[in-house]
Amino acid sequence: MLLNNIEEVKKNIKEWKKEGFKIGLVPTMGALHAGHLSLIKKAKASCDKVVVSVFVNPIQFGPSEDFDKYPRTLDADERLCNREGVDIVFAPSPKEMYGDAGRLSNDTLTYVCPPFFYVNKLCGKTRVGHFDGVCTVVLKLFNIVQPDYAFFGQKDAQQVVIVKKMAADLNVPVEIIQCPIVREESGLALSSRNKYLTDEGKKDALVLSKILNNIKTCYQKGITDVSALKETAYSFLTDKHELEYLEILDKNTLEEKLHADNNSIVLIACRVEGVRLIDNTYLGGI
Q: Which residues bind ligand AMP (CB under 6 A)?
A: 28-29, 35-36, 38-39, 152-153, 155-156, 179, 181-182, 189-192
Three-state DSSP string of 180-244: CCCECCCCCECCHHHHHCCHHHHHHCHHHHHHHHHHHHHHHCCCCEHHHHHHCCHHHCCCCEEEE
CA–CA distance, 141 with 9 (Å, rounded to integer) = 10
Least spacing, CB of residue 216 vs ligand AMP, in Å: 18
**Which residue from 269, 125, 154 is spatially nearest to 205, judged by alpha carbons?**
269
Would you say 46 or 232 has its CB closer to ligand AMP? 46
Handedness of CA 59, 62, 66, 68 (dihedral sign): positive
Would you say 159 or 218 has its CB closer to ligand AMP? 159
Of 33, 36, 130, 259, which residue is the catalytic one?
Answer: 36
Would you say 10 or 183 has its CB closer to ligand AMP? 183
Helix axes 130-145, 157-169, angle to 10 degrees: 60
Is 115 in contact with 140 (CB distance < 8 Å)? no
Least spacing, CB of residue 193 vs ligand AMP, in Å: 8
Q: What residue type is 276 in one-letter code?
A: R
Is 235 in contact with 211 (CB distance < 8 Å)? no
Q: What residue type is 117 in one-letter code?
A: F
Least spacing, CB of residue 18 vs ligand AMP, in Å: 29
Least spacing, CB of residue 33 vs ligand AMP, in Å: 7
Would you say 12 or 192 has its CB closer to ligand AMP? 192
36 catalytic, yes or no?
yes
**Enzyme catalytic residues:** 36
